[in-house]
Structure 1
Amino acid sequence: MTSTVRQLLQTKGNTVYAISPGATVFEALERMAAYDVGALMVMDGDQLVGIFSERDYARKIILMGRISKDTLVGEVMTGELITVTPDATVADCMNLMTGNRVRHLPVLEDGKLVGVVSIGDVVKAIMTQQEFMIAELESYITGSR
């Protein structure tokens, strides 16, 4: 049963898809499509400096009439990040995501990026926890434990 971000990352893996702030938005979109992800961590060397998401593209490129091949990721990324540590609970993540209307939480340990948790990861973990709890309760009620 997954209850912390550390356990969630052990289950799903801690692969991080990233891009440089100097890359073009078009390059970011190509990378997102190749990896089938909705966001990329923006890394300056080994330093997390932002996140670039489908939402950033829709609101800061399309709606503003900008051109993705001429715009740098660093110009339109979200720089104010909401992050979690590996010791945060899945419930903490859900509360942060819903309260702040974000779909991705970078996971930092000792200031270093060690993974990313998406809303899909959190929902899946919560559903798994609930299924486990239901099975335990059914087993208890029927006396088959």
Structure 2
Amino acid sequence: MYSRVEDILKEKGNQIWSVSPDDTLLTTLLKLAEKNVGALLVMDGERIAGIVSERDIVREIALHRACVLDAPIKAFMTEDVITVNSQTTVDECMQLMTRAHIRHLPVVEGGKLVGIISIGDVVKKVIEGQASMIDDLEGYITGDKFGR
């Protein structure tokens, strides 16, 4: 059976770290460091307004060759946020992240944000699935899996 986003969220939980669009760059950088994450959702109340990653910030600073720490984070965020739901397969997430060159996917159910997964979460789940398949194949080859 294919692993799904819901399997990842069951293991890691559904903790979501976010900032608001008017929070400053400094506030956002401090939260990224405090929570030890690579991206934060930008929430306007219950609505996803965007997502901001360390890469977004670095690119924007490099583009303007300036770093204004009191600038609102909405100037750095990506507005078009790609989301998945809990039934999306891990393989679909991997393909989506690869195609879109993104590392984080918010999980939305019925229009409500329920979690966020990272490329690390997806890769971990893929590796677990491969290890399980290898164990099953070894058991089949040696006959141990079927009590021989």
TM-score range, shorter chain: over 0.9
The whole-number CA distance in structure 1 between the counterparts of 2:74 and 2:2 is: 35
Residue correspondence of structure 1 range 1-145 to structure 2 within 5 A: 3-145=3-145
Q: How many residues align?
A: 145
> Structure 1 vs Structure 2: percent identity of aligned residues?
48
**Distance change (3 Å), C-alpha of 1:68 and 1:13:** farther
The RMSD of aligned alpha carbons is: 1.3
The whole-number CA distance in structure 2 between the counterparts of 1:22 and 1:66 is: 19
> In the alignment, residue 23 of structure 2 is paired with which amino acid?
A
Deviations 1:69-115 (A, max 9, x none): 22111122000111101110000000000011000011111111111
Determine helix, strand or coil for the equivalent of 1:87. Answer: coil
Q: Which has the larger radius of gyration?
A: 2
Deviations 1:42-63 (A, max 9, x none): 0011111100101111111243
Q: Is the 8 A contact 1:50 1:77 kept in 2?
A: yes
The whole-number CA distance in structure 2 between the counterparts of 1:24 and 1:110 is: 30
The whole-number CA distance in structure 2 between the counterparts of 1:14 and 1:68 is: 32
The whole-number CA distance in structure 1 between the counterparts of 2:144 and 2:98 is: 38
Q: Is the 8 A contact 1:2 1:8 kept in 2?
A: no
The whole-number CA distance in structure 2 between the counterparts of 1:91 and 1:68 is: 39
Deviations 1:14-66 (A, max 9, x none): 11110011100111010000010000000011111100101111111243123
Unaligned residue ranges in structure 2 (runs of 5+): none
Q: Is the 8 A contact 1:86 1:107 kept in 2?
A: yes
The whole-number CA distance in structure 1 between the counterparts of 2:66 and 2:39 is: 19
TM-score (norm 1): 0.96
Unaligned residue ranges in structure 1 (runs of 5+): none
